[in-house]
Amino acid sequence: MQLLNQTLAAIKPLDEEAMARAQAHLDDLTKPPGSLGTLETIARQLAGIKGEVPRRLSRKTHILMAGDHGVVAEGVSAFPQEVTPQMVLNFASGGAAINVLARHAGAELVLVDIGVAAELPDLPGLLKRKVAAGTANLARGPAMTREQAIAALEVGIEVANEKIAAGSELLGIGEMGIGNTTPSTAILAAFSGLPVEKITGRGTGIDDQRLQLKINAIRQGLEVNRPNPEDPLDVLAKVGGMEIAGMAGVILAGAASRVPVLIDGFISGAAALVATRLAPGAKEYILASHLSEEPGHAATLELLGLKPMLTMQMRLGEGTGAALGMTMVEAAIKIYHEMATFSQAGVSGALDS
């Protein structure tokens, strides 16, 4: 709890003056003002976070949290629970989508077993930080104790702090956990009050029958647990998951150390909801990479007040969208530093109206 409290207390507002300076420079580049849209927004946000737009990012780290979910007993996923540890092995040997896209982005990939239900071997790049071997079934009672939720948040903070201390200047988050679109939907429902049937999606591709089981499990979980939306730790513990908590911890640690954090799809969006309910100021340090096909994601981003960089019809998770987002951040940095200004290029400015 001490680490969590210290981290929350360290989150400070963005540097508004640096953002105004960055905006003036962006408006002086050889293009109509604002015409590079989100690339400009990213550059301005980086200036607010770092005090200036960095020339390059020396190290980028993608943190992938893996955890399991007792609620799979309700039949909410199209895949069996053993896929979670099997995919961790796949990540460790470099063959999953996130491996390809993290390599494409030039990011190191860190795997964290924060709550996988199986015992994993020692693997390259895998940090063993298991809080528990999977959550309890949220449809029948609390998924975690409050202590477990705090411990999982603090694992995320610790891992992010280690990577930041090692020189990482941009963090991405992602997850693996069969069943985890169910707790993510429950978190969104608890904070937003939106009707469960409107925000529940097909995750890994469930059929109509499983979709109904999933809606029922989420409704029952909310009824049995009565998570208090005014108490983010209560929501996280009762209807969340360990990898969701871990990702929320990474966001908070990034915000506390003024390091931007790229979120991914629906599940990392649920983590961002938890993080920003714990510390509203953390929002300024988040970059929303893409809009997932999962129906609750648009509502999640709206609640967060964030706009996604990309719409790619993706719905995988693992942080695949976040890895693509890293390449957009680097594009924004290059635009900011490599474009000529109007005076440098001898290009006339806008006419007076």
Ligand X SMILES: Cc1cc2ncn([C@H]3O[C@H](COP(=O)(O)O)[C@@H](O)[C@H]3O)c2cc1C
Ligand Y SMILES: O=C(O)c1cccnc1
Specify the amino acid at residue 135. T
Angle at 18 between CA 17 and CA 21, to 5 degrees: 90
Write each residue from 162 to 181 as x if it is in contact with ligand Y (CB under 6 A), else as -, in one continuous string: -------------------x
Segment lying near ligand X (by CB under 6 A), choices 23-31, 311-319, 328-336, 338-346: 311-319
Structure tokens at 160: 């992010």
176 binds, among ligand X, ligand Y, none (CB under 5 to 8 A by kind): ligand X
Among 177, 232, 249, 269, binds ligand X (CB under 6 A): 177
74, 158, 175, 318: the active-site residue = 318
Out of ligand Y, ligand X, none, what residue 264 binds, judged by CB under 5 to 8 A for its kind, is ligand Y
Sheet of strand 126-128: strand arrangement: 126-128, 108-115, 60-67, 170-176, 261-263, 286-288
Question: What residue type is 190 in one-letter code?
Answer: A
> Which span sits near ligand Y by CB under 6 A: 70-78, 146-154, 238-246, 312-320?
312-320
- Listed in sequence order, the residues at least 6 apart from 19 whose beta carbon sits closer than 8 Å to its beta carbon are 44, 45, 47, 48
Between 184 and 257, CB nearer to ligand Y: 184
Rounded to whole angstroms, the Cα distance separating 5 from 1 reads 6
Q: Which is nearer to ligand Y, 26 or 87 (CB)?
A: 87
Question: Which residues ranging from 258 to 277 are in contact with ligand Y (CB under 6 A)?
Answer: 264-267
Catalytic-residue membership of 318 = yes
Q: Which of these ranges, 132-140, 150-158, 278-286, 291-299, lies near ligand Y under the rule CB under 6 A?
A: 291-299
Query: How many residues are present in the chain?
Result: 353
With left for phi above 0 and alpha for psi between -120 and 50, is residue 170 left, alpha or beta? beta
Q: Which stretch binds ligand X (CB under 6 A): 108-116, 173-181, 217-225, 338-346?
A: 173-181
Would you count residue 296 as binding ligand Y (CB under 6 A)? no
Longest CA span, the chain:
69
**191-210: which residues touch ligand X (CB under 6 A)?**
203-204
- Considering the rule CB under 6 A, would residue 241 count as an interface residue with ligand Y? no
| Sequence-separated (6 or more) residues with CB below 8 Å from residue 223 | none
Shortest Å, Cβ 176 to ligand Y:
9
Helix axes 242-256, 266-278, angle to 10 degrees: 60
d(CA 273, CA 188): 8
- Binding stretches for ligand Y (CB under 6 A): 181, 203-204, 264-267, 292, 294, 297, 315-317
Catalytic (active-site) positions: 318
- Binding stretches for ligand X (CB under 6 A): 77-79, 83, 87, 175-182, 203-204, 316-318
